């Protein structure tokens, strides 16, 4: 495991450890004082309606006029960004690109992933350069593609499912608080024991 991957693994493990520690305390409260914890839970258990926020996200936004009015600036920005990325990829050596990727046990697979990533970045930036030149010189060529691809997809039904209240735990836990507390304590202890080395490596 490379240094960057080991550092990221340590941060995630430490975060998981402290979350499990807080969960362990909640499990202890469910075992020792379930009535008090349930009363506190009822006071804190408030429903927040997010439909107003989702409605604002589901409104159509039109930027076509501003885009075509400033197509020279937009095209120059896209061309400059793609040219800089291509210049950066040209200067990047194979070892430097491999350093950005996690170390794999199979060297053949490592080479395949490295070559695939380089080809993907090269193709993506060449396509961006082409689009930037079209936006800069002939933006009218994009209007036909825009007319076929610019369709509104309503997301109110999908977002409505996210805004639905799920009270399964609220109905099950009050009947068996100590049983759920025991399960929470055992589960949190298991997670803490597996992530302990990330918090206290010595």
Q: Is residue 172 part of a domain?
A: no
Q: Is residue 171 part of a domain?
A: no
- The phi and psi torsions of 61 (rounded to 5 degrees) equal -125, 130
Q: How many domains does the chain have?
A: 1
- The phi and psi torsions of 105 (rounded to 5 degrees) equal -70, -30
192 pLDDT band (50/70/90 cuts)?
A: confident
CB within 8 Å of 181: residues ≥ 6 apart:
27, 28, 29, 30, 31, 34
Q: Is residue 11 part of a domain?
A: yes
Q: Is residue 37 part of a domain?
A: yes
Q: Is residue 181 part of a domain?
A: yes
CB within 8 Å of 196: residues ≥ 6 apart:
17
pLDDT digits (tens, 9 = 90+) for 129-175: 998 898 888 887 777 766 666 666 666 666 666 666 655 555 656 66
What does the block give as tokens for 152? 């509104």
What count of other Cβ atoms lies within 10 Å of the Cβ of residue 82? 20
Q: Is residue 35 part of a domain?
A: yes
In terms of residue numbers, what domain contains 125?
3-45+63-147+177-199
pLDDT digits (tens, 9 = 90+) for 111-121: 787 778 888 88
193 pLDDT band (50/70/90 cuts)?
A: confident
Q: Is residue 195 part of a domain?
A: yes
Give Cα separations from 88 to 2, 15, 23, 48, 105 (angstroms).
Answer: 23, 35, 46, 47, 28
Cα–Cα distance between 67 and 137 in angstroms, integer?
14
pTM of the model: 0.45
Q: Is residue 106 part of a domain?
A: yes
């Amino acid at each position: 495991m490379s240094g960057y991957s080991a550092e990221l693994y340590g941060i995630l493990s430490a975060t998981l450890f402290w979350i499990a520690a807080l969960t362990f305390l909640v499990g202890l409260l469910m075992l020792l004082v379930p009535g008090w914890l349930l009363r506190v839970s009822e006071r804190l258990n408030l429903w927040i309606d997010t439909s107003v926020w989702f409605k604002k996200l589901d409104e159509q936004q039109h930027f076509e006029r501003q885009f075509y009015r400033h197509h020279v600036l937009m095209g120059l920005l896209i061309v400059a960004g793609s040219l800089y990325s291509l210049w950066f990829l040209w200067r990047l050596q194979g070892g430097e690109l491999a350093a950005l990727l996690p170390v794999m046990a199979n060297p053949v697979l490592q080479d395949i992933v490295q070559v695939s990533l380089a080809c993907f970045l090269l193709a993506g930036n060449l396509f961006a350069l082409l689009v930037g030149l079209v936006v800069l010189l002939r933006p009218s060529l994009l209007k036909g593609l825009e007319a076929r691809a610019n369709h509104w997809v309503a997301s109110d039904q999908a977002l409505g499912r996210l805004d639905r209240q799920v009270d399964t735990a609220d109905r099950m836990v009050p009947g068996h608080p100590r049983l759920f507390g025991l399960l929470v304590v055992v589960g949190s202890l298991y997670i803490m024991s597996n992530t302990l080395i990330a918090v206290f490596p010595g």
